[in-house]
Structure 1
Amino acid sequence: MTVSVLVVDDQAMVRAGFSAILDAHDDIHVIGQAADGAEAVRLARSLRPDVVLMDIRMPNLNGIDATRELVRPSRGEPHIPRVLVLTTFDADDYVYDALAAGASGFLLKDALPEELVQAVRIVAAGDALLAPSVTRRLLERFATQRPAPRRAQALAELTEREREILVLIGRGLSNSEIASELFIAEQTVKTHVSRIFTKLGVRDRVQAVILAFDSGLVEPAS
């Protein structure tokens, strides 16, 4: 299958560069470019890309609000693209909010070309780009700036094993790492993760981690 991508950034050179990198691969096709969030929403509605590569700081409509608009279910627009947020880690203080808005992951703008390609493939496949080495630190950083945690009622639906796995997800562990940690089969972990997502009403690991932090189940630097 070919992954269709909409590239969104207010800098023309950046858009052109990312588009060239992605279009060089047979399984990825850039079907449009947008210079701001408002244009991104319009084009996404008409072009229906699989993945939207979204910058955060843009005029007219920023990437956070654009992401929230794109992933919100709508009667007239059943297609919901996956959003991969682009950011500069040291500069953007809004990445946590972008993930909370419904983004499926984020990528640093200084990532290697092959990392960009792989990130698009991961997100298009329905997985969340949640690299333990970077994303965990980022989420912990922003979790310390959030208001006092509120216990999510949905957590009450989880079994003890599911809560245990959710904590490990929040710490950035992959399914295989969780399996090793708990001495269970990786397929068993996948089954538990699927049930966790269903009970919590989340789409992917990013949203599950955000809920774990917001509810207080996972603490910063835990």
Structure 2
Amino acid sequence: MTMTTDKDNHTPAGSPLKLMLVEDQQLVREGLKGLLALYEDVDIIAEASDGAEALTLLEAPSGPGMPDLILSDMRMPRLDGLGLIRALAARALTIPVVLLTTFDDASAFDEAVRAGARGFLLKAISPDTLIQALRDVQAGGTALRPSLTTRMAQTGGRGERAFQATEQPDPLSPKELQVLRLVASGRSNTEIAALLGNSEGVIKNHCSAIFSKMGVRDRTQAVLRAIDLGWI
């Protein structure tokens, strides 16, 4: 059975998305497996009960191999989703991670962005929204749009989200927007420089220009502001 068409599928024909599923609650994990099995362009190559087990599988010589993407619960014992993202970075494993969470919580969202999550989604989302988010991340984008971002955009945000920028910041150049999207994907200045063929100093200059135009202080605020504006 398939719930996708060639028209809306970002994955090339014959190349299913290789996914690792990380979830500590077996009932939830089995439910996600059953749901994802309905989409023929998604192949669950491994599953783990927490981040520590996921790392063991990834590093095992006889393991399942590297997935294209990891779909992980945010809160788990031993090593949670945030810890898994940091551990992957420490091992220079550039596997994008999409985090799932139960609660519509602004601080959790900010934590996920800081850690470098490529996606942050509520478990209450629809199956089609989840699958589209996975495809977007596999294609190099982000899926950082839980309902809390919409609500905060409507209210103007609080605390760290209470930006000092004008309603509509100065427009970014195409290169600056490209850098901003890579920042949102969790990549460091060094990684962005390598991807774009620039020096790290050039990327730092682009980031400074981005922050100035957007009226923000740092990378996290730039990403959150860009999400509120619909730029990423």
Say whether the fold is shared (TM-score over 0.5).
Answer: yes
Q: Select which of 179, 200, 204 maps to 2:185.
A: 204
Query: TM-score under structure 1 normalisation?
Result: 0.64
Residue of structure 2 in register with 1:184 after alignment: none
CA 1:137–1:60: 2 relative to 1, 3 Å: same
Q: Select which of 166, 178, 185 maps to 1:194.
A: 178
Rounded to whole Å, the distance in 1 between the matches of 2:23 and 2:146 is 26
Residue of structure 2 in register with 1:70 after alignment: 88
Give yes or no for contact 2:102–2:122 (8 Å, CA) kept in 1: yes
CA 1:95–1:26: 2 relative to 1, 3 Å: same
What secondary structure, in the 3-state scheme, does the structure 1 residue paired with 2:183 have? coil
Query: What are the equivalent positions in structure 2 for 1:28-47 lying under 5 Å apart?
Result: 28-45=42-59, 46=63, 47=65
Residue of structure 1 in register with 2:72 after alignment: 54
Unaligned runs of 5+ in 1: 150-162, 167-188
Rounded to whole Å, the distance in 2 between the matches of 1:43 and 1:128 is 25
CA 1:26–1:84: 2 relative to 1, 3 Å: same
What secondary structure, in the 3-state scheme, does the structure 1 residue paired with 2:143 have? coil
Q: RMSD in angstroms over aligned alpha carbons?
A: 3.8
Unaligned runs of 5+ in 2: 1-14, 164-168, 189-206
- Sequence identity (%): 33
**Deviation digits for residues 184-218 of structure 1 (CA, Å, limit 9, x no counterpart):** xxxxx755522545xxx72639999xx86552665
Q: Tell me the CA shift for residue 71 of structure 1.
A: 3.4
Give yes or no for contact 1:104–1:206 (8 Å, CA) kept in 2: no
Rounded to whole Å, the distance in 2 between the matches of 1:9 and 1:214 is 35
Q: How many residues align?
A: 177
**Deviation digits for residues 71-112 of structure 1 (CA, Å, limit 9, x no counterpart):** 3462xxxx4111001012336842321221111011110111
Query: What are the equivalent positions in structure 2 for 1:157-196 lying under 5 Å apart?
Result: 164-165=170-171, 192-196=176-180
Alignment of 1:135 with 2:141, yes or no, is: no
Give yes or no for contact 1:8–1:53 (8 Å, CA) kept in 2: yes
Rounded to whole Å, the distance in 2 between the matches of 1:115 and 1:20 is 16
What secondary structure, in the 3-state scheme, does the structure 2 residue paired with 1:67 have? helix
Query: What are the equivalent positions in structure 2 for 1:98-117 lying under 5 Å apart?
Result: 98-117=112-131
What secondary structure, in the 3-state scheme, does the structure 1 residue paired with 2:104 have? coil
Q: Select which of 49, 57, 80 maps to 2:94.
A: 80
Rounded to whole Å, the distance in 2 between the matches of 1:80 and 1:61 is 18
Q: Tell me the CA shift for residue 42 of structure 1.
A: 2.2
**Deviation digits for residues 151-182 of structure 1 (CA, Å, limit 9, x no counterpart):** xxxxxxxxxxxx7346xxxxxxxxxxxxxxxx
Deviates more, 1:87-96 or 1:59-68: 87-96
Q: Tell me the CA shift for residue 124 of structure 1.
A: 1.0
Rounded to whole Å, the distance in 2 between the matches of 1:127 and 1:97 is 19
Alignment of 1:3 with 2:9, yes or no, is: no
Rounded to whole Å, the distance in 1 between the matches of 2:161 and 2:44 is 39
Rounded to whole Å, the distance in 2 between the matches of 1:63 and 1:146 is 23
CA 1:67–1:195: 2 relative to 1, 3 Å: closer
Q: Tell me the CA shift for residue 30 of structure 1.
A: 0.5
Residue of structure 2 in register with 1:172 after alignment: none
